């Protein structure tokens, strides 16, 4: 394998992993607060269509990402109001949000099908971006660096900041946190809003980073992979990073197997395409086989908070 091909594969892996990493980082914070939001796929699609339309209209990728984050945040507040304020079932509401996001994105994007936009390219000097080796470090979209920064920031927030420790306390024992004077609902609203903004940015990464055009359901199940990845990573940010790049590698193998030639072509492209989803199912099965005391999931995950009188 030549150096150019190896670098090209690494670049593709990093790009493919970035949307999943962004969405999973947001979902990790949400789940550490004790909330299970299965609407990540829907929020990503809302972010994808919003980011695409803004980019197509204005040509400004920074504005497109910002508006996509706002769109994801607003859609997450629908989930928050229903589950946190009205105590609706979190699983059913998350599924409904995914269905809503799928339908909304199809409707909003119906006049933009196959319309091209510019990719969100690297901001570094061309001599670094075009260098044979240095492009592995400097040749990425700002979204890639942002995703890595958010993993580190998420780790620091959860493990080193007072606010992060309060969020973890809310996820582990909401009634104890409430008795100490912390606003359980307020903390969870903030976590859900953050997760929605991250999902919106993750959705925008698809047309701005991977496929510079609009297509219905272009996230292709990335939101579900992000949800499973949080479990796979045992709710730890740096494990999340490793898992996202592992999924990105599998997705990249699918692309190169379709291109034909080499040892990868011996495995059908359809099998490579199915592997991320098969791995998702396998992870969930393995987690469900654990005894309840061995999992590192937040103790209040998915449970509604009802203050005792």
pLDDT tens track for 168-202: 999 999 999 999 999 999 999 999 999 999 999 99
Mention every residue, 6+ apart, whose C-beta is less than 8 A from residue 210: 15, 16, 19
Confirm if 29 and 193 have CB atoms less than 8 A apart.
no
Alpha-carbon 256 to chain mean position: 24
The more confident residue out of 264 and 174 is: 174
Report the alpha-carbon distance of residue 69 to residue 48 in Å, rounded: 10
β-bridge mates for residue 278, sequence order:
none
Residue 69 near residue 15, CB atoms below 8 Å:
no
Judge if pTM exceeds 0.75: yes
Six-digit token string for 228? 């499973």
Distance CA 148, CA 121 (A): 17
User: Residue 292: pLDDT above 70?
Assistant: no
CATH architecture of residue range(s) 3-294: Orthogonal Bundle (1.10)
- The rounded distance, in Å, linking the Cα atoms of 1 and 255 is 17
Answer whether 133's CB lies under 8 Å from 76's CB.
no
The C-alpha atoms of residue 96 and residue 93 are separated, in whole angstroms, by 5
Mean pLDDT over the full length of the chain: 89
Q: How far apart are CA 218 and CA 183, in angstroms?
A: 38
Average pLDDT in the 36-58 region?
Answer: 97
* Residues 82-104: tens digit of each pLDDT: 999 999 999 999 999 999 999 99
The pLDDT, as a whole number, for residue 291 is: 42
pLDDT at 295: 60
- Residue partners of 143: CB distance under 8 A and separation at least 6: 18, 22, 65, 120, 201, 205, 208, 209
């Amino acid at each position: 394998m030549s150096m150019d091909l190896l670098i090209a594969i690494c670049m593709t892996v990093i790009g493919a992993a970035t949307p999943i990493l962004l969405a999973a980082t947001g979902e990790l914070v949400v789940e550490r607060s004790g909330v299970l939001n299965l609407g990540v796929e829907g929020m990503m699609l809302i972010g994808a269509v919003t980011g695409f339309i803004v980019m197509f209209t204005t040509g400004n990728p920074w504005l497109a990402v910002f508006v996509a984050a706002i769109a994801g945040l607003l859609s997450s507040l629908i989930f928050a109001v229903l589950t946190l304020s009205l105590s609706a079932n979190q699983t059913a509401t998350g599924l409904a949000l995914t269905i809503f996001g799928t339908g909304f994105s199809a409707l909003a994007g119906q006049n933009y099908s196959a319309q091209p936009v510019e990719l969100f390219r690297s901001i570094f000097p061309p001599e670094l971006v075009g260098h044979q080796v240095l492009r592995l470090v400097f040749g990425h979209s700002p979204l890639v660096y942002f995703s890595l920064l958010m993993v580190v920031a998420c780790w620091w927030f959860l493990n080193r900041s007072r606010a992060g420790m309060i969020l973890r306390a809310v996820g582990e024992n909401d009634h104890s946190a409430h008795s100490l004077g912390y606003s359980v609902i307020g903390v969870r609203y903030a976590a859900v809003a953050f997760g929605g903004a991250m999902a919106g940015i993750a959705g925008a990464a698809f047309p701005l980073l991977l496929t510079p055009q609009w297509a219905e359901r272009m996230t292709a199940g990335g939101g579900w992979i992000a949800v499973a990845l949080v479990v796979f990573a045992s709710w730890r940010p740096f494990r999340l990073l490793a898992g996202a790049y592992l999924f990105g590698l599998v997705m990249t193998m699918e692309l190169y197997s379709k291109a034909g030639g080499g040892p990868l072509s011996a495995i059908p492209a359809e099998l490579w395409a199915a592997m991320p989803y098969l791995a998702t199912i396998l992870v969930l099965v393995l987690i469900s086989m654990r005894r309840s005391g061995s999992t590192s999931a937040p103790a209040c995950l998915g449970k509604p908070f009802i203050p005792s009188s």
